[in-house]
Chains A and B, each alone.
Chain A
Amino acid sequence: MASLKRSVDSDPLAANISNKIYVRSTKSGKVQKIVREVYLRQDIPCSSRLCQRCQTVAPKDASGKLIPFVLSDSPAGTKVFPQGHYLVPDTNAFLTAMDLFEQDSAFYDVIVLQIVLEELRNRSLPLYNRLISLTKSEDKRFYVFFNEFRLETHVPRLEGETVNDRNDRAVRKAVAWYGEHLARIKGKDVPAIVMLSNDRDNLRKAKQEGINACSLADYVKQLKDGEKLLDMIPETQDQDNIKEKRPGDNLYPEYFSMSKMMTGVKNNLLHQGIFNVSPYNYLEGSIRVPAFPKALLILGRENINRAVDGDLVVVEVLPKDQWKEPSTQVIEEDAITKNENPDAEESDDFVSEKERKALQEEVKRTHSKTTEGHAQPTARVVGVIKRNWRQYVGHIDQSSVSQSAQQGRKQDSVFVIPMDKKIPKIRLRTRQVSELLGKRILVTIDAWDRSSRHPSGHFVRSLGELETKAAETEALLLEYDVQYRPFPKTVLDCLPKEGHDWKVPQSLEDPGWKDRQDLRDLLICSIDPIGCQDIDDALHSRPLPNGNFEVGVHIADVSHFVKPGNAMDAEASIRGTTVYLVDKRIDMLPMLLGTDLCSLKPYVERYAFSVIWEMTPDADVVGSRFTKSVIKSREAFSYEQAQLRVDDSSQQDDLTKSIRTLLDLSKKLKQKRLDAGALSLSSPEVKVQMESETSDPIDVKTKVHLDTMSLVEEFMLLANTSVARRIYEAFPQTAILRRHGAPPKTNFDELANQLKVKRGLDLSVESSRALADSLDRCVDEKEPFFNTLVRIMATRCMMSAEYFCSGTQAYPEFRHYGLASEIYTHFTSPIRRYADLMAHRQLAAAIEYEAIHPSTRSRGKLEAVCKNINVRHRNAQLAGRASIAYYVGQALRGKATEEDGFVMKIFSNGFVVLVPRFGIESLIRLRDLAEVEPQAEFDAETYTLQTSGSREVKVELFQKVRVRVTDQKDETTGKRGVKMELVRTY
Chain B
Amino acid sequence: MPLDTSTYGLALLRVDGRRWNELRRIYAQIRTQAAADGSSYLEMGHTKVMCVVTGPSEPGPRRGAGISSAGGAGGGGGGAGGQSKDAEVVVNIVIAGFSSVDRKRRGRSDKRTLEMQSTLANTLAATLHTHLFPHSQITISLHVLSQDGSLLAALINAATLACVDAGIPMTDYVTACTAGSTSTYAANDEGADPLLDLNHQEEQELPGLTVATLGESDRVVALVCESRVQISRLEGMLAVGVDGCKQVREILDQVIKAQGQKMILEGTVDKGTGLNDMDLD
Query: Which A residues are within 8 Å of any B CB, using their own CB?
Result: 1, 4-6, 10, 12-13, 15, 17, 20, 22, 24, 30, 32-41, 44, 59-63, 67, 114, 117-118, 121-122, 135, 144-146, 148-149, 564-565, 853-855, 858, 860-861
Contact = CB atoms under 8 A, between A and B. Distances in A.
Interface string B16-47: 11111111110000000000000000000110
Contacts of B194: 4, 62
Given A1-B239, A118-B1, A149-B13, A32 B101 contact: yes
Contacts of A32: 101-102
Given A12-B23, A36-B2, A4 B12 contact: no
A825 B83 CA distance: 64
Given A59-B12, A564-B188, A861-B186, A39 B22 contact: yes
B236 interface: yes
Nearest to A35: B46
Interface stretch (B3-11, B114-122, B155-163, B255-263): B3-11
8 nearest A-B pairs in the assembled complex, by CB-CB distance: A149-B17, A39-B17, A62-B193, A858-B186, A144-B10, A59-B12, A565-B188, A4-B239
A860 B22 CA distance: 31
Contacts of B1: 22, 24, 118, 121-122
Contacts of A17: 25
Nearest to A65: B191
B237 to A, nearest CB: 10
A457 B175 CA distance: 60
Contacts of B228: 854
A858 B189 CA distance: 15
Given A117-B3, A145-B11, 8 more contacts: A12-B24, A34-B101, A36-B16, A36-B201, A37-B25, A37-B148, A40-B17, A146-B17
A44 B10 CA distance: 12
B178 to A, nearest CB: 15
B11 A146 contact: yes
Contact of B236 (A6, A60, A62): A62
A44 B13 contact: yes
B11 A30 contact: no
Contacts of A39: 16-18, 22, 24
B46 A4 contact: no
A60 B13 CA distance: 10
Q: In terms of DSSP, what is the predominant structure of the interface of chain A?
A: mixed
A343 B3 CA distance: 29
A441 B210 CA distance: 56
Nearest to A122: B1
A699 B194 CA distance: 63
A22 B11 CA distance: 24
B12 A6 contact: no
Which residue, of B10, B45, B194, has the highest number of chain A Cβ atoms within 10 A?
B10
Contacts, number: 116
A20 B201 CA distance: 14
Nearest to B100: A32
B56 to A, nearest CB: 35
B236 A854 contact: no
B174 interface: no
For this complex, into which size category does the number of interface residues on chain B fall? 35 or more
Contacts of B11: 44, 59, 67, 144-146
Contact of A37 (B24, B101, B186, B188): B24
B101 A13 contact: no
B16 A38 contact: yes
Contacts of A60: 12
A981 B128 CA distance: 96
User: Which of A12, A30, A40, A858: most chain B Cβ within 10 A?
Assistant: A12
B22 A62 contact: no
A280 to B, nearest CB: 42
A10 B22 contact: yes
A40 B228 CA distance: 31
B21 A6 contact: yes
Contacts of B92: none
B101 A33 contact: yes
Contacts of B201: 36
Contacts of B243: 4-6
Contacts of A38: 16-17
Contacts of A146: 10-11, 13, 17
B123 interface: no
24 contacts: A4-B194, A4-B236, A4-B243, A6-B22, A30-B102, A34-B101, A36-B16, A36-B46, A36-B199, A37-B16, A37-B45, A40-B17, A59-B11, A62-B21, A62-B194, A67-B11, A114-B3, A121-B1, A135-B10, A144-B11, A145-B11, A565-B187, A565-B188, A855-B186
A780 B189 CA distance: 62
Contacts of A10: 19, 22
B133 interface: no
Contacts of B12: 59-61, 67
B57 interface: no
Contacts of B186: 854-855, 858, 860-861
Contacts of A114: 3
B193 to A, nearest CB: 4
A63 B239 CA distance: 13
A4 B236 CA distance: 8
Contacts of A6: 21-22, 243, 247
A37 B21 contact: no
Nearest to B21: A6
A355 B84 CA distance: 63
Contacts of A40: 17
Contacts of A1: 235-236, 239
A172 B2 CA distance: 19
Instruction: Indicate the member of A30, A33, A62 with the most B CB atoms within 10 Å.
Output: A62
B230 interface: yes
B8 to A, nearest CB: 9
Given A4-B243, A35-B46, A62-B236, A148 B17 contact: yes
A13 B24 CA distance: 8
Interface in B166-207: 185-189, 191, 193-194, 199, 201
B53 interface: no
A618 B156 CA distance: 70
A32 B200 CA distance: 15
A149 B101 CA distance: 23
A59 B3 contact: no
Contacts of A37: 16, 24-25, 45-46, 148, 199
Nearest to B201: A36
Contacts of A20: 2
Nearest to B251: A13
Contact of B240 (A4, A24, A122): A4
Contact of B22 (A12, A122, A148, A564): A12
Contact of A61 (B16, B20, B23, B24): B20
A15 B21 CA distance: 14
